[in-house]
């Protein structure tokens, strides 16, 4: 199999935990050709979407851990699989990339996750398709509505719709003296919509990341537990990761979302669940593969590669 991976520069990856690294290493172990490129290496010429890509060789014990061949220009549909693993933000360049990838799809390229899904499934707003699984939620840019929501629920979480890694998330209680400042900042003075959710106390037991591969859940989740009084469990925000088996409720959520993810073209997703509640559906570059694999007998990267191999028969 000839695999192209669109991602951030290799020198920025933390290979002890990076999920894209784990997928590429597993692909190499299985004898596949791995090529890498950044967004800026995509272009369209003569109605064909091309990539200035580099063949990758991984040597985990070496410094640096990667060796790259010179750039070669390849029509994107000449790869068996194209993996879009660029981290957010979903800025204009990311948007343009999804359009190019969608054009490549029309000429036969197999892109995972599908460009349309990457563009249209906001990782915060997507949960609204499953009201039976979410805590009370408000989406608005209006401070008066956020104030009323806080008065109703007394303890809420406020977060931007485009953040990642726990950035920009605030826990706000009824007596918060900085309420106006927080809301003005998050909503950009009432011009940008944010999400407010009732605070879920079960965050103390962890914000669980459930990985979905080709519509099926990995049997273990990574519970990211807040530390030091910080309400966020995200590992990037200092949370502690603990691997645990999926609960009955986790499996119920996964079973409900699996067909939806497949229908919308999401091959690899990360569901975030706190207690009994679905809080996010991560589709851009879901992480936590390595943490789960290192603590269990489940090689998640191998699961991903098996599913990709099945996609091309």
| Per-residue DSSP letter, 271 | E
Of the residues 26, 209, 234, 250, which is catalytic?
209
| Per-residue DSSP letter, 199 | -
124 labelled catalytic:
yes
Of the residues 105, 123, 280, 291, which is catalytic?
280
Rounded distance between C-alpha atoms, residue 270 and residue 260, angstroms: 13
272 labelled catalytic:
yes
87 labelled catalytic:
no
129 labelled catalytic:
no
Of the residues 80, 114, 282, 291, which is catalytic?
282
Please report the DSSP string for 12-80 in residue order. Answer: G--TTT-HHHHHHHHHHHTT-EEEEE-GGGEEEETTEEEEEEEEEEE-TTSSSSEEEPPPEEEEGGGSS
Cα-based distances in Å from 288 to 13, 23, 208, 299: 14, 12, 10, 12
- Helix or strand or coil: residue 215? coil
Asked if 14 contacts 74 with a C-beta cutoff of 8 angstroms, the reply is: no
| Per-residue DSSP letter, 138 | E
280 labelled catalytic:
yes
- Nearest Cα residue to 114 out of 265, 8, 216, 293: 265
30 labelled catalytic:
no
249 labelled catalytic:
no
Rounded distance between C-alpha atoms, residue 170 and residue 172, angstroms: 6
Rounded distance between C-alpha atoms, residue 156 and residue 158, angstroms: 7
155 labelled catalytic:
no
The helix (H) or strand (E) run that includes residue 311 is helix 300-311
Of the residues 198, 232, 234, 250, which is catalytic?
232
Asked if 155 contacts 173 with a C-beta cutoff of 8 angstroms, the reply is: yes
Of the residues 105, 113, 224, 234, which is catalytic?
224
Of the residues 85, 86, 114, 124, which is catalytic?
124
Asked if 58 contacts 26 with a C-beta cutoff of 8 angstroms, the reply is: no
Of the residues 18, 105, 272, 291, which is catalytic?
272
Please report the DSSP string for 63-89 in residue order. Answer: SSSEEEPPPEEEEGGGSSEEEE-PPSP
Of the residues 159, 198, 208, 291, which is catalytic?
159
Tell me which residues are annotated as active site. Answer: 124, 159, 209, 224, 232, 272, 280, 282
């Amino acid at each position: 199999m000839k695999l192209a991976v669109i991602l951030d520069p290799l020198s920025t990856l933390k290979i002890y935990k990076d999920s894209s690294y784990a997928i590429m290493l597993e692909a190499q172990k299985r004898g596949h050709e791995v090529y890498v490129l950044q967004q800026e290496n995509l272009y369209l010429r003569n109605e064909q979407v091309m990539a200035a890509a580099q063949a990758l060789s991984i040597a985990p014990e070496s410094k640096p851990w990667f060796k790259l061949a010179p750039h070669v220009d390849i029509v994107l549909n000449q790869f068996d699989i194209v993996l879009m693993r660029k981290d957010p933000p979903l800025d204009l360049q990311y948007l343009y990339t999804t359009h190019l990838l969608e054009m490549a799809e029309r000429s036969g390229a197999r892109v995972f996750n599908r460009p349309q899904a990457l563009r249209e499934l906001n990782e915060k707003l997507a949960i609204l398709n499953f009201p039976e699984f979410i805590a009370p939620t408000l989406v608005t840019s209006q401070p008066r509505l956020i104030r009323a929501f806080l008065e109703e629920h007394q303890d809420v979480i406020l977060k931007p719709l485009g953040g990642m890694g726990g950035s920009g998330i605030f826990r706000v209680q009824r007596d918060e003296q900085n309420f106006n400042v927080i809301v003005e900042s998050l909503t950009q003075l009432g011009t940008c919509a944010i999400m407010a959710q009732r605070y879920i106390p079960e965050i103390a037991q962890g914000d669980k990341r459930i990985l979905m591969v080709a519509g099926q859940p990995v049997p273990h989740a990574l519970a990211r537990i807040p530390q030091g009084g910080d309400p966020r469990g995200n590992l990037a925000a200092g949370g502690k990761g603990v691997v645990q088996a999926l609960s009955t409720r986790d499996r119920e959520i996964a079973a409900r979302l699996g067909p939806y993810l497949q229908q919308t073209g999401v091959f690899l997703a990360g569901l975030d669940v706190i207690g009994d509640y679905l809080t996010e559906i991560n589709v851009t570059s879901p992480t936590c593969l390595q943490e789960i694999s290192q603590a269990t007998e489940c090689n998640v990267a191998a699961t991903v590669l098996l599913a990709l191999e099945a996609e091309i028969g």
